[in-house]
Chains A and B, each alone.
Chain A
Amino acid sequence: MAVNAGITDVGARHRAKALADLMVLDTPDEQAFDDLVFIAAKACDVPIALITLLDVDRQWFKAKYGLDVQETDIEHSVCRIEIDRGDMLEITDLTADRRTNCNPLVTGAQHFRAYAGAPLVLRSGAVVGRLCVIDTEPRPEGLSELERAMLRALARLASENLELRRTARVSNRLTELQAALVEIGEAIRGSGDAGQMASATAAIVGRVLTADRAGLGSVDDAIETIDIKTDWTAPGILSIAGRHRLDEYVSLREPLVYGDPLVVADALTDERAFSNLSIAMRIGVRALVDMPVREHGRTIALFFVHSAQPRPWLAEEVAFLRSATDRLEAGVARHRSDEQQRIVNGEIAHRLKNMLTMVQAIASQTLRSASDRESVYAFERRLMALSAAHDALLQNSWAQADLKSIATTVVEAIGFTDRVKMDGPPVALGARAALSFSLIVHELLTNACKYGSLTGDVGDVALTWEIRTDDGDDRLMIKWRERGGPPVTPPTRRGFGSKLISIGLAGTGGVDLRYDPGGFAADLQAPMRHLAKG
């Protein structure tokens, strides 16, 4: 048809995409554009000036002077004539031009008679519409050279403004998305389990993208089904938690298999999106992004965002979703590995303690006929001391144990909690020092029960410790002080217990034992750098 001269499908598609990207259609009036049409009308001395954007099925006015219409059908658009040429269009008498003489804007009450429009060309080269001036009287002489030049200049300003406006909006959006990513990171750190991480992430993503539904679903090995534990939904939107077949949910498995996101702006016009549109409509999805979660080169889950209305997805939004999904995946993986580590540690501890019980059983059976039952019990209690150190180490994933909690457990195992007073700052001991310390405390305590201040009913023990800094070197100093016991005499022979004590905290001595008449005293010391290591 003649009226279509200069319009091609390729041009229209290019234009639709560029317009969607500008995010300007159906936005409120803005002063900058209103000023431009006002200046255009005055510069060319006409009653009407418009900034027209050419959508697929309509022309929409971003700014209008002298006309009280927001949009018209695309068929009634004069601006679209020869639009793909990207040049100025001038029609001095619309009633005389066969492309416009039947147009209701010309034949009707609007009484359009003369037209001149300069193209709105973006930096990408896309032509998205025109800045036009319209007279209600014919202008046989057309625009003057100056008027034409001014119209072109104003159109360039309008185009520039459209792009600046977009940049400003994208930059605001980026700031919002960045803030949301930080929020997601905090939410993931604050979550106790994988389900909580996914729910918190979905809620933030849903809110910041003003989506209708968001969530994480795990995908089976064959990438055929998706299992959604919980999803976030906007008020009034139905949840799709449960197990679904992927081929009914999304027809294009390919991108998911290869790890690319599936981005659909409008399910009705994107044949990739749904093999079965009725399902999409039932769950209310017009636009969506599916972001695959990968592990070892395989898609193991999908993070999805649904919108009940068609919408363009900014590249920045898709990148944001990628980052959010990555953070979620990293959080879930870290949680999983911590959990596994905890289970493994628990299992090791359990086996170790069963092994200690076996050793106890063997020793007990082997020494059954031994006349000295006391030796068997002494052995048993040393085993308990070791076991207590293991308990304290397990609390901290086997890395280190608190000095006080080891001492407390050992004292508790022997049973003199009320007569051993402890005082000192928190000190973390490595595994080796923890085991040595538990045995030393045990021997000191045993001796105190047999010969020292705990033999009678009145004596007690003070166990204190501190860290002294000496030439930049931290040393742990432990003091064991007994008082209120029977008179002290140095032992005549050195048993295994004394030898254990003299090995010291770090295995290299640093032990001072004094048999003062008033009470036995022991000083133990070692550099912290030797004690903190495993």
Chain B
Amino acid sequence: MMRPVVLVVEDEPLVRLFASDMIEEAGFEVLQAADATDAIVTLEDRLDVRVVFTDVDMPGGIDGIMLAICIRERWPAIQIIITSGRPWPEGTDLPEDMVFFSKPYRQDRVLETVRRMAA
């Protein structure tokens, strides 16, 4: 059976590796991107991505929140998880259907959400 595909977007290589391993070990196929532009190129190429797990602070001008909004526009079927070392910005609502995890995050909780979204 095909494993559901999750795209991990994170500029810090070590944290990206950690997140990828965590999700892969839970039985998913993982694609990696180091920034938002990279992520969009991947998404244009792979139409089977079910969940995007993205950091907020990334170089290159487009942050994770912008990326999430862009994905919601272009690929409405893709589920989105956002994570950041900063608290969610005050006064702004988390877009509907998205889940936010403050860093550091509990692996079991993240995995639980990924499983639910990919199901």
Contacts and interface: CB of A to CB of B under 8 A. Distances in A.
Interface of A: 346, 349-354, 356-362, 364-365, 368, 377, 380-381, 383-384, 387, 391, 413
Contact of B21 (A351, A368, A383): A368
B17 A350 contact: no
Contacts of B19: 361
B96 to A, nearest CB: 23
Contacts of B104: 353, 356-357, 359-360, 380, 383-384, 387
22 contacts: A349-B85, A349-B86, A350-B85, A351-B85, A353-B86, A353-B103, A354-B15, A357-B15, A357-B105, A358-B14, A361-B15, A362-B14, A364-B18, A364-B22, A364-B107, A365-B14, A368-B21, A380-B107, A381-B106, A384-B104, A384-B106, A387-B103
Contact of B86 (A350, A357, A364, A383): A350
Nearest to A354: B85
10 A-B pairs closest in CB distance: A361-B18, A353-B85, A354-B85, A350-B85, A357-B103, A357-B104, A360-B104, A356-B104, A350-B86, A361-B14
Given A354-B85, A368-B21, A377 B14 contact: no
B29 interface: no
Nearest to B13: A361
Nearest to A360: B104
B114 to A, nearest CB: 16
Contacts of A413: 106
Contacts of A387: 102-104
Contact of A380 (B21, B84, B106): B106
B57 interface: yes
Given A358-B14, A361-B15, A377-B107, 14 more contacts: A349-B85, A353-B86, A357-B12, A357-B103, A357-B105, A361-B18, A365-B18, A368-B21, A377-B108, A380-B104, A387-B102, A387-B103, A387-B104, A413-B106
B21 A364 contact: yes
Nearest to B107: A380
B85 A365 contact: no
Interface of B: 12, 14-15, 17-19, 21-22, 57, 84-87, 102-108
A300 to B, nearest CB: 30
A365 B107 CA distance: 13
How would you classify the secondary structure of chain A's contact residues: helix, strand, loop or mixed? Answer: helix
A352 B103 CA distance: 10
Contact of A346 (B14, B15, B86): B86
The listed residue with most B CB atoms (<10 A of its CB), out of A357, A358, A364, A384, is: A357
Contacts of A361: 14-15, 17-19
A391 B104 CA distance: 11
Nearest to B109: A415
Contacts of B21: 364-365, 368
A391 B87 CA distance: 9
Nearest to B16: A361
A402 B19 CA distance: 32
A353 B102 CA distance: 9
A281 B106 CA distance: 69
A377 B57 CA distance: 26
A380 B17 CA distance: 17
Contacts of A359: 104
Contacts of A368: 21
B115 to A, nearest CB: 17
A21 B11 CA distance: 71
Contacts of A346: 86
Nearest to B22: A364
A384 B107 CA distance: 11
Contacts of B85: 349-354, 357
A361 B107 CA distance: 11
Contacts of B57: 350
Contacts of A358: 12, 14-15
Nearest to A415: B109
A356 B103 contact: yes
Contacts of B108: 377
A354 B12 contact: yes
A359 B103 CA distance: 11
Nearest to A386: B104
A449 to B, nearest CB: 13
A235 B43 CA distance: 59
A368 B85 CA distance: 24
B103 A354 contact: yes
Nearest to A387: B104
A353 B17 CA distance: 17
B50 to A, nearest CB: 23
Nearest to B18: A361
B24 to A, nearest CB: 12
